[in-house]
Structure 1
Amino acid sequence: MSGKITLRRAVLAAASAVSLLALSVPARATDDPKVDPKYLWDLSDYYRTPADWDAARLKVKAALPGLAKYKGTLAKGPAATLAALEAIYAVYHDLERVGTYASVIASTDARDAQAQERQGLGDDLQGEVAAATAWLSPEIQALGAAKVDGYLKAEPKLAKFGFALHDALRLKAHTLGAEAEGVLAALSPALGGSGTTYNLLSNADIDWPTITLPASSKEGGKSVKLTQANYQKYREDPDRAVRKAVFDAFWTKFGQYANTMGSTLGTTVQNGVIQSKLRHYPTAVAASLSNNDIPEGVYRTLVAEANKGLPTLHRYFKLRQRMLNLPDLHYYDIYPPLVSSDAKFPIEEGEKLVLAAVKPLGDEYQKAMADAFAHRWMHAYPQEGKQSGAYQTGVYGLHPVVFLNYQDNYNSVSTLAHEWGHGMHTTFANRSQPYELAGYSLFMAEIASTANEFLLSDYMLANAKTKQEKLLYLGNELETIRGTFFRQTMFAEFELAVHDAVEKGEPMSGKRMTEIYLGLLRKYHGADQGVMQIDPVYAAEWAFIPHFYRPFYVYQYATSISASAYFTEKIRDGGAAARDTYLSVLKAGGSDYPVTVLRKAGLDMASPAPYQALVRRMDEVITEMERLLDQKD
């Protein structure tokens, strides 16, 4: 998913379009002959061959010296400013295509050294473009607001740059001189390299443990290598002994790398803290939020409201214990489905269900999604060397692509809906805005995805024929809220605690990160209230989370699901008018600050209201499930 393009950060957003859910590479069709080529993406619309990609990379590189002639010309007037911006943004667009392709090709096989090298070249190019255009924001800021407004009035073709021009002026107090900006831009690939190191270590270099599944399980005696994909599969196993064995082995292995992971993550944190000080921000979180003009109160209100809502989360855990018929509850008990179901959802059926579920969003939305499903725009199934997780990315003027690890179960259908929510957001923003205004911010990025999940849940519940089916879909919704609101807020609180400690000058290490994370695990899961037991070895989980290498990113999952709950409720109650209001949010792209876009649609994310509404919805789902469980069959 791409971030909002601004003059100071356009190059960074262009080259970072792939979600950190999957920092990795696309598989070749020959990697797994059992996979239908229909579900191996075709990236020929991006580049037909790696040689074509390299030619495009060299073209961008060759264009950089030509940008130097625009330096110092903005003061000459609106025509000169227009010429400079159009030339620079053309390079940004080409860079976005080069960077996205390299990242995507690197995401399905971390063993592919050539793909990793291409990604490295793309990262290097990002730094070169950033350095070559670092003078732009300081030069705009030197013009001042009055002159910029005069330019916009005199030259209508500058309108598409208006938002970015004013954004550069807003950030004047936090922008360094042209030389300093150039140095930081040139260093950006190196400063951001910890995420790549994490990716290679966790996906390619770790010697994953092999366990023998307990005899009590369905696959008793089978030897299983606990790759990330297998960990995610077996943590849901109905046999508790399997889950415990998987957790013990997997997190013990991650714990062995706590020092190294503490160093890589610590470097990322230090980078953010140092840059926030250089740019005269009070804190790293303030610096991060400032990029999209998000009030820091949004972040801290989210954390406060999630903490207030912990009794509801603990209520859910007690329901989970009841439904799984367990004498107590451990951390390895949070992933198995509340309702056992052998129902299979092949991806073709999953596509049909998602299309039916989004009907409330109208014909245009359904047709766009159906068109996406008709093309080879997904890499759907797990393969050796492929990263776990899922993501969507895209380039303006081309189709979005979706990365999945589809398992033919209902969770996979929900993930399909989620990622194509991103895909539709990208599609609608690109259709409605020029390139310069299409890239929506990360703060907006998870609204469409989680709205699709809520719509899928509503559709499945409305069409359920038995009590067990209803419990299945309600339970899945509870897990969505737990995982997207409470879990992501716990991650956000972890990031805040680590950054706050570093900013205070406190020592930080992998061991200290484990201690902080253990305290949060205990608080969120009610250890002191006797709700769930947390085994300390599992506190190595912080080292597993790739999102931490994109600081202050995860909180936006929690804010987004709160917003999507608000919008889907309005759509159910308000019909076409509410639907059109929601679609206007998707179509807005990056044409305004995200909090402003949402406020125009009637939603104030700085207030406790959206978070309290989501917690109320969770309480209502729990109440309904308890009612169904109390019914006599």
Structure 2
Amino acid sequence: MKHLPVSRALALSLALAFSSQAPVQADPLPTTWDLSPLYASDADWEAARKALLADLPKLAALKGTLGKSAQSLRAGLDAVSAANLRYERLRVYASMKQSTDNRDAANQERSGLAGKLGGEYGSTIAWLEPEIQSLGEAKVAAFLKTEPGLKKHAEHLRNSLRQARHTLSAETEAVIAALAPVRGATGDVRTLLFNANTRWPELTVDGKTEKVDGTKYGLLRQHPDRAVRKQAFDAFFGAIGQYEDTYGVTLGNVVQDDTTMAKLRRYPSAVAMSLGAEEIPEAVYRTLVAEVHKGLPTLHRYFKLRQKMLGLPDLHYYDIYPALVTQKKQYSLDDAAALTLAATRPLGEDYQALLKTTFKANTMHALPAPGKSGGAYQDGVYDAPPFVFLNHQGEFDSVSTFAHEWGHAMHTAMANRAQPYETAGYSLFVAEIASTANEVLLSHYMRGQAGSKEEKLFQLGYALERLRGTFFRQAMFGEFELNTHDAAAKGEALNGKRFTEIYCKLLKDYHGDAAGIMKIDPLYCQEWAFIPHFYRPFYVYQYATSITAALHFAEDILAGKPGARDNYLKLLAGGGSVAPYQALKNAGLDMATPAPYQAVIKRMDGIMDEMEALLAAK
């Protein structure tokens, strides 16, 4: 496609050539992971699966024994913990194998077997929580005093007793657990439809034929040529729109399932069930949405700045993603690692040493490939190194994603090192803090390395876009989930068309369509079908709360505030030993109040002030 004239370079993009090069790793990082810390082969995985199946009757036989003595309670909980770890190892291996190639029938079968095992395993131990709750607080407290071996189970016991009102009979819990693979199947359908079965359109871009799938769309939407971006959006959402009805059925099933479970478990709403399970006040969610709406003028200010810097006569949804200032530099995987190490120096020598050690574990799958899932994630098992899944493509966004996912990995590694298995796993509410804090530290480091106005503008623009995408966009997703679940609770029929209507209204409200800030094309209202996180209800809002917390901690650390680094690292090492909302309060941050969210909006305005001053400078 024809690019815009070079004479408009300052208004449209400022090409960068970084004067400071990232130091290169001494030993190049491998790009495909070694799963042998989990299983030496697929055959070993299958043998382990059959072994756990064979041991399920032993777990079932523990029913009725927990209350006999403190020692019996410890023995029962120890046995379940050991089985949980065995199952997690099986699940993680199967999931990671499939994500590297969704087309492979063996990978699909293995994931199916893991899901089936999960249902059988969950059904087998469904008696556990009702039996703990039947003991009562006094008896459990007495057992904890007399049996030191129960200490590692104390948080589980406390949490189980707390949720007694929402736990059903052992028989009912067993039925629900057995149905877990069926209840989760809609997400699998969506994954296969999107990653394996959709015939994605092709475009010719810069003389090359590009298939506009999930991964390539993420790159093409950043293209400096507006016509390319529009073609990519039209092709991508046109392809998704062909399956609006199918995506509507799958997501509708998830929303209805969630709404039904909330009623069965005696919660007033699905969001109350989701947050209540982790002791997160609903005020956190509601306050986030309210403060984001108050901050929409700041978001609209950003859009106007974007339009001005790109030199556009108007603004469309496909104009969000190109960098306000472009850079042509490409970063290797080793560059990304070196920059992440440099950026995280403020976290101290121990953090750095653990990060270097974890890099060497050969547990990263880094490059795009046919059939590979898009996006990035970190997963792991307690007694193995964390595994990192990427689709590294060399642009700065890939560097930021690298830092993000290795932040997750470090959170996992630190919690695993400091906690017993039973309290190492951390809540979703804190899961995105370490990853997002790494992005903030990387942004700060890169701005410090900027050798020119253009480089600094690029980094400021990138930071601004991360705030837009992680704070405002994820809050919009969270509001979409609130609205769809509210509709289901009222008995409204949910289908693809209705989801598109709900999403379109939010898209227009957030982006100022009625005020003429940005035009939202109806075709792009299909975007809800592109978001896999909706199949994990009430998850996405935690990106917005996490960037809020990450900014709080990172800025305090960078400012050298006494105790800030120790408080942050203690939070990461704490794993799940303390309820997540309380853990953040212990670290000095109350996420149920408006102040943290107002600070994010203030920071966004501050970045724009700095950018506008740089642009105005001669």
Same fold (TM > 0.5): yes
Residue in structure 2 matched with residue 10 of structure 1 by the alignment: none
> Residue 349 of structure 2: which of 360, 363, 373 is its match?
363
Establish whether residue 522 from structure 1 lines up as the match of residue 508 from structure 2. yes
Residue in structure 2 matched with residue 137 of structure 1 by the alignment: 129
Q: Which moved more, 1:167-176 or 1:341-350?
A: 341-350
**Structure 1 segments of 4+ aligned residues over 6 angstroms from their partners:** none
Q: Secondary structure at the match of 1:561?
A: helix
Distance 1:479 1:101 in 2: 34
> Residue 99 of structure 1: which of 77, 87, 91 is its match?
91
Which residue identity lines up with residue 137 of structure 1 in the other structure? Answer: E
Residue in structure 1 matched with residue 520 of structure 2 by the alignment: 534
Establish whether residue 227 from structure 1 lines up as the match of residue 225 from structure 2. no
Distance 1:233 1:384 in 2: 16
**Could you give the per-residue CA deviations for residues 391-433 of structure 1, whole angstroms, max 9, x where no partner exists?**
0011001100111111111111111100000000001000010
> Residue 70 of structure 1: which of 57, 62, 77 is its match?
62
Residue in structure 2 matched with residue 491 of structure 1 by the alignment: 477
**Could you give the per-residue CA deviations for residues 572-619 of structure 1, whole angstroms, max 9, x where no partner exists?**
223562101100000110001100100001100111111111111111
Establish whether residue 51 from structure 1 lines up as the match of residue 43 from structure 2. yes
Establish whether residue 82 from structure 1 lines up as the match of residue 74 from structure 2. yes
TM-superposed CA distance for 1:37, in Å, is: 8.3
Q: Secondary structure at the match of 2:112?
A: helix
Residue in structure 1 matched with residue 429 of structure 2 by the alignment: 443
TM-superposed CA distance for 1:377, in Å, is: 1.5
CA contact (8 A) 2:29 2:333 kept: no
> Residue 163 of structure 2: which of 148, 171, 175 is its match?
171
Which residue identity lines up with residue 525 of structure 1 in the other structure? Answer: H
**Could you give the per-residue CA deviations for residues 418-471 of structure 1, whole angstroms, max 9, x where no partner exists?**
000000000100001000000000000000000000000111111211000001
Q: Secondary structure at the match of 2:327?
A: coil
**Could you give the per-residue CA deviations for residues 341-377 of structure 1, whole angstroms, max 9, x where no partner exists?**
1111111111111101000000011111112222322
Residue in structure 2 matched with residue 122 of structure 1 by the alignment: 114
Residue in structure 2 matched with residue 6 of structure 1 by the alignment: none
Q: Which runs of 5+ in 2 are unaligned?
A: 1-27
Q: Secondary structure at the match of 1:610?
A: helix
Residue in structure 2 matched with residue 33 of structure 1 by the alignment: none
Distance 1:350 1:67 in 2: 46
Distance 1:559 1:89 in 2: 30
Residue in structure 1 matched with residue 242 of structure 2 by the alignment: 256
Distance 2:313 2:359 in 1: 45
> Residue 310 of structure 1: which of 296, 304, 323 is its match?
296
Distance 2:356 2:202 in 1: 41
Q: Which moved more, 1:571-580 or 1:281-290?
A: 571-580
**Could you give the per-residue CA deviations for residues 51-105 of structure 1, whole angstroms, max 9, x where no partner exists?**
0111111111111001122111112110111111111110000000000010001
> Residue 306 of structure 2: which of 305, 320, 337 is its match?
320
Which residue identity lines up with residue 245 of structure 2 in the other structure? Answer: N
Q: Which moved more, 1:524-533 or 1:553-562?
A: 524-533
**Could you give the per-residue CA deviations for residues 147-183 of structure 1, whole angstroms, max 9, x where no partner exists?**
0000000111101101100101100000000000000
Which residue identity lines up with residue 452 of structure 1 in the other structure? Answer: N
- The equivalences for 1:200-219 within 5 A come to 200-213=192-205, 219=206
Distance 1:67 1:530 in 2: 62
Q: Secondary structure at the match of 1:223?
A: strand
Which residue identity lines up with residue 52 of structure 1 in the other structure? Answer: D
Establish whether residue 561 from structure 1 lines up as the match of residue 563 from structure 2. no
Residue in structure 2 matched with residue 430 of structure 1 by the alignment: 416
Distance 1:575 1:301 in 2: 27
Distance 1:108 1:318 in 2: 40
TM-score, structure 1 as length reference: 0.92
Distance 1:40 1:576 in 2: 41
Q: Secondary structure at the match of 2:559?
A: helix
Residue in structure 2 matched with residue 5 of structure 1 by the alignment: none
Residue in structure 1 matched with residue 538 of structure 2 by the alignment: 552
Residue in structure 2 matched with residue 611 of structure 1 by the alignment: 597
- Quote the RMSD (CA, aligned, Å): 1.0
Which residue identity lines up with residue 119 of structure 2 in the other structure? Answer: G
Q: Secondary structure at the match of 2:179?
A: helix
Establish whether residue 503 from structure 1 lines up as the match of residue 492 from structure 2. no
Establish whether residue 481 from structure 1 lines up as the match of residue 473 from structure 2. no
Q: Secondary structure at the match of 1:224?
A: strand
Distance 1:133 1:263 in 2: 31
Residue in structure 2 matched with residue 20 of structure 1 by the alignment: none
Distance 1:433 1:442 in 2: 17
Which residue identity lines up with residue 120 of structure 2 in the other structure? Answer: E
Residue in structure 1 matched with residue 335 of structure 2 by the alignment: 349
CA contact (8 A) 2:119 2:177 kept: yes
Which residue identity lines up with residue 435 of structure 1 in the other structure? Answer: Y
Residue in structure 2 matched with residue 412 of structure 1 by the alignment: 398
Which residue identity lines up with residue 282 of structure 2 in the other structure? Answer: E
Residue in structure 1 matched with residue 572 of structure 2 by the alignment: 586
Q: Secondary structure at the match of 1:392?
A: strand
Distance 2:29 2:476 in 1: 39
Residue in structure 2 matched with residue 3 of structure 1 by the alignment: none
Which residue identity lines up with residue 565 of structure 1 in the other structure? Answer: L
Distance 2:466 2:209 in 1: 31
Aligned residues: 591
Residue in structure 1 matched with residue 12 of structure 2 by the alignment: none
Distance 1:624 1:447 in 2: 26
**Could you give the per-residue CA deviations for residues 555-588 of structure 1, whole angstroms, max 9, x where no partner exists?**
0000000000000111122356210110000011
CA contact (8 A) 2:377 2:405 kept: yes
Residue in structure 1 matched with residue 152 of structure 2 by the alignment: 160
Residue in structure 2 matched with residue 26 of structure 1 by the alignment: none
TM-score, structure 2 as length reference: 0.95
Which residue identity lines up with residue 455 of structure 1 in the other structure? Answer: L
Residue in structure 2 matched with residue 297 of structure 1 by the alignment: 283
Residue in structure 2 matched with residue 24 of structure 1 by the alignment: none
